[in-house]
Amino acid sequence: MSWPWSSNEEFCERVIPCDAFEPDFGVVQRQTRFEQVQRMAIAAENISSGVSELKQMALAIDPRPDNRDRLDNARRLVLRIATAGEELLLLHRRLAKSRTADDFIAIKKLHEEWEQHLIGGTLTQEIQNFISASEALSDGFSEFVRDDSELLVTESILPDPLLRDFRLARDLFLVGFDEMGAFAAGRGLEGVLRSIAADREIEMRSKDGKLSLAHEARFHDLIEVFHRLRWSRDKSQVVDAPGKDLLNLLKGCRNNAAHPNQRPSEVDWLAVAKLASKTASTLWRDFQRPRVRLVSKVVQRDW
């Protein structure tokens, strides 16, 4: 989900920037994510406005010698669109690595090959191809924005207060903070478990018979409580063994995100967050079904 590049070399290998574009990876790294998002928005707008202007220059794509001034203006506009597109790709790794960007990357050096196409009689068609590729890049960026806005929350059935952490997780993923996004999603799942436990007044009984509220317990104990609960209708576990393992996995990933020294080297943080969101919605739905009952609301703490 993250969009920053790991290095300038990685960007150049994929995008092969134009001679007129000088990517400054160090500057981008030093900028805040808010500044980077602003730059993306400006680049996307420059592509859109440039393409609209180029499409209106009907005479500029007529390769007659007496139309040279208009052709030069069109060439400068193509360069402007190309550099705006490369700026967007510098700031949005996912877009650059998507198929949406392939045609634009292949044709964005049209201004450098302008004379060859003019002499060969292919300039008119190449400009049309350039326009199509630029529009596809712009549409691809808009699709990323639209899809990202729905991440983790669109299909959720959680009430608004419990959805807050998942919205935060979505926003963190959108600006490249994947690990912190997973942490927020894990916290959202924990909040759902605690809310259910509080609403159902679920308790733990210690070995000495003392009762305590499950929603105030440690997350590890809360997971064990839900694993021990059973539905009255068929005596099945509320959270079965694979479900318990899943919750512990999500808890572990959440903790790893919070403690840098304990992070695994490779984790698909977005997959973790999606799993947390889906698990939270499933448990919430199960407990909202009409006339659903538990065998007992008290769990013996013998682990």
- Provide CB contacts within 8 A for 139, sequence distance 6+: 100
Domain housing 245? 160-300
- What are residue 294's phi and psi, to 5 degrees? -105, 150
Task: Mark whether 124 and 205 lie in a shared domain.
Answer: no
Rounded mean pLDDT for each run of 10 residues along the chain, 303 residues in total: 76 91 82 86 95 78 64 91 96 92 96 91 91 96 85 85 93 82 90 95 94 95 95 92 86 68 65 89 92 93 90
Residues 47, 125: one domain? yes
Span 156-202, pLDDT tens digits: 889 999 999 999 999 888 877 888 888 899 899 999 999 999 999 99
16 three-class SS: coil
126 and 195 assigned to the same domain: no
195 and 80 together in one domain? no
Q: How many domains does the chain have?
A: 2
CA atoms within 13 A on the CB side of 7: 3
**174 and 296 fall within a common domain:** yes
Per DSSP, helices labelled H in the chain are: 8-15, 25-30, 33-56, 68-91, 93-96, 102-107, 114-120, 123-149, 160-174, 178-199, 219-228, 241-258, 269-288
Residues 26 and 50 in one domain: yes
Cα Rg of the chain (Å, integer): 27
What pTM did the predictor assign? 0.69
pLDDT at 1: 42
